[in-house]
């Protein structure tokens, strides 16, 4: 057995253990009995410890050192590159630290869920303090040249740093804030009476979002949908992809667009190259790319006037008598209302990135030690007032709304904004190759767009770095310009205002 083959065999065992952990994590969030929390924490801690021990095995380091990337083909060289990144990062962390952190995150998931349910940050406070402490230690273990936050960002998008993000967010703020201001000053808002006067049954919401997900191309023979406190997409491999949504019978948009968002993630997972199973190169290419797929289907397709023309009859079938006077244009304007709101996952395209900026600024302060855990709720509220002009009335829809911190996923949020930018750039390129894209969406024919994403993104796995993959797919390196142009044009058409 040569060195490369032995390395792949070891990486396969690591991936199998990680897949088992993903099933346990899904079960924990969806159907596990509450009383099982303590034992599940031990299960996940053991899985994390085992994976860490396998990654940090000295033999893995020896194999990586023995291989010369110049003697390998593109896929082999990419596997070697990714294995080295994972090995180097893992060897920075002591095994007991990894095990303890996994146990803490599992327990914290339950304290966060209870705190959110009871609107009581104090329930989650102690676990959040421990997570913040361990996250700061992890950044020190990884090492960094400028901000400790850089070490955390790099986990989710290779090469991502504060110095790269600051100008990006500043540029978006300068472009997007004036759009929101013009809409606010115009005083124009769609009539939402048709939404507010009805009760939108969960069963009907389920039927609608199921049909839309199937139409987009999610394969339910290789996946499933469920409900959870916070929507997510998971599962171990392309044959078993699992996503969730949540429901509110006071309004039907959250479940539908949450479902479309997770469907975007799910189709990416199902489209990963099966000939590269269990190999690093067969995985998705970073969280920013992953988020581009979810935001594309949720917003750039799902909130288009063309999509509304196709989906409205389906709405009327699922909610008989509740939408008799609703036209495609009324639906289009209703689902694109631009208005500051409390919930990130339900915010409009114009204000969404402001929600991310708040979390980005807070996480920097947290990791760099400029605020401590007891200051976080007030800091959250003050930033919402500063960025969006609103103050959350409680912690449930304020600082406790997101699941990420209880998962230890600090440094994750900026990838959502990258996803928005990538999505606009990818769709712009796809439309160039699919000249009748809009007519196909009106007919509910999403296959050409899904096929384009399969060819340009899904099937490419992690062969390339994210920026290189975007360049390969679109002809240009990542840029915010397509997103700004897309959003400006949409706001102009929605609100009939000059931009």
| Residue-wise pLDDT tens digits, 70-96 | 999 999 999 999 999 999 999 999 999
Phi and psi for 236 in degrees, rounded to 5? -80, -35
Phi and psi for 244 in degrees, rounded to 5? -130, 160
Cα–Cα distance, 70 to 67 (Å, whole number): 9
The answer on pLDDT for 38 being more than 80 is yes
Furthest CA-CA distance within the chain: 71
* pLDDT tens per residue, range 227-268: 998 889 999 999 999 999 999 999 999 999 999 999 999 999
Q: How confident is the model at residue 179 (pLDDT cuts 50, 70, 90)?
A: confident
Architecture of the structural domain at 162-495: Orthogonal Bundle (1.10)
Q: What percent of the chain has pLDDT over 70?
A: 100
- The string of DSSP letters for 153-190 reads HHHHSTT--HHHHHHHHHHHHHHHHHHHHHHHHHT---
Q: What percent of the chain has pLDDT over 90?
A: 90
Q: CB of 193 within 8 A of CB of 323?
A: no
Q: How many residues does the chain have?
A: 499
CA-angle at 218, arms to 216 and 223, nearest 5°? 160
* pLDDT tens per residue, range 143-174: 999 999 999 999 998 888 999 899 888 888 88
Summarize the confidence of residues 464-486 as an average pLDDT: 94
Cα–Cα distance, 130 to 404 (Å, whole number): 14
Q: CB of 423 within 8 A of CB of 300?
A: yes
Domain residues of the chain, as ranges? 3-143, 162-495
The answer on pLDDT for 497 being more than 90 is no
Catalytic residues: 262
Residue-level pLDDT at 1: 63
Interacting residues of 331 by C-beta distance below 8 A, sequence separation 6+: 308, 311, 312, 315
């Amino acid at each position: 057995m040569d060195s490369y083959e032995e390395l792949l065999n070891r990486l396969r065992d690591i991936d199998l253990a990680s897949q088992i952990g993903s099933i346990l994590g899904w079960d924990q969030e969806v159907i596990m009995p509450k009383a099982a929390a303590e034992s599940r924490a031990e299960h996940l801690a053991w899985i994390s410890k085992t994976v860490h021990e396998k990654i940090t095995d000295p033999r893995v380091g020896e194999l990586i050192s023995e291989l010369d990337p110049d003697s390998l083909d593109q896929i082999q060289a990419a596997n070697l590159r990714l294995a080295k990144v994972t090995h180097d990062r893992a060897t920075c962390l002591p095994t007991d630290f990894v095990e303890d952190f996994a146990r803490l995150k599992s327990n914290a998931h339950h304290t966060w869920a209870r705190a959110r349910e009871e609107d009581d940050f104090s329930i989650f406070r102690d676990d959040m303090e421990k997570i913040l402490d361990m996250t700061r230690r992890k950044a020190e273990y990884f090492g960094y040249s400028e901000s400790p936050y850089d070490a955390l960002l790099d986990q989710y998008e290779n090469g991502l740093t504060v110095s790269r993000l600051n100008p990006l967010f500043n540029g978006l703020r300068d472009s997007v804030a004036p759009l929101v201001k013009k809409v606010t000053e115009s005083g124009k808002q769609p009539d939402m009476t048709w939404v507010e006067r009805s009760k939108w049954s969960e069963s009907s919401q389920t039927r609608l979002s199921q049909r839309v997900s199937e139409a987009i191309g999610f394969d339910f023979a290789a996946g499933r949908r469920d409900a959870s406190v916070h929507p997510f997409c998971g599962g171990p491999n392309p044959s078993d992809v699992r996503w969730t949504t949540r429901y509110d019978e006071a309004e039907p948009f959250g479940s539908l667009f949450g479902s479309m968002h997770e469907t975007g993630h799910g189709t990416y997972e199902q489209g990963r190259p099966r000939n590269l199973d269990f190999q690093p190169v067969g995985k998705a290419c970073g969280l920013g790319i992953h988020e581009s797929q979810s935001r594309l289907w949720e917003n750039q397709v799902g909130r288009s006037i063309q999509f509304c023309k196709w989906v409205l009859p389906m709405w009327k079938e699922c909610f008989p008598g509740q939408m008799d006077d609703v036209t495609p244009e009324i639906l289009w304007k209703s689902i694109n209302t631009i208005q500051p709101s409390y919930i990130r996952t339900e915010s409009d395209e114009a204000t969404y990135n402001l929600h991310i900026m708040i979390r980005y600024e807070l996480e920097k302060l947290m990791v760099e030690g400029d605020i401590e855990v007891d200051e976080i709720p007030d800091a959250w509220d003050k930033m919402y007032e500063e960025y969006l002009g609103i103050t959350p009335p409680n912690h449930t829809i304020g600082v406790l709304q997101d699941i990420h911190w209880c998962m230890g996923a600090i440094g994750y949020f900026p990838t959502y904004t990258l996803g928005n930018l990538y999505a606009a750039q990818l769709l712009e390129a796809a439309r160039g190759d699919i000249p009748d894209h809009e007519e196909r969406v009106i007919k509910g024919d999403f296959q050409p767009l899904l096929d384009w994403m399969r060819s340009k993104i899904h099937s490419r796995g992690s062969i390339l770095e994210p920026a290189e993959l975007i360049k390969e797919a679109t002809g240009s390196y990542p840029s915010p310009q397509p997103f700004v142009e897309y959003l400006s044009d949409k706001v102009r058409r929605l609100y009939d205002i000059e931009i």
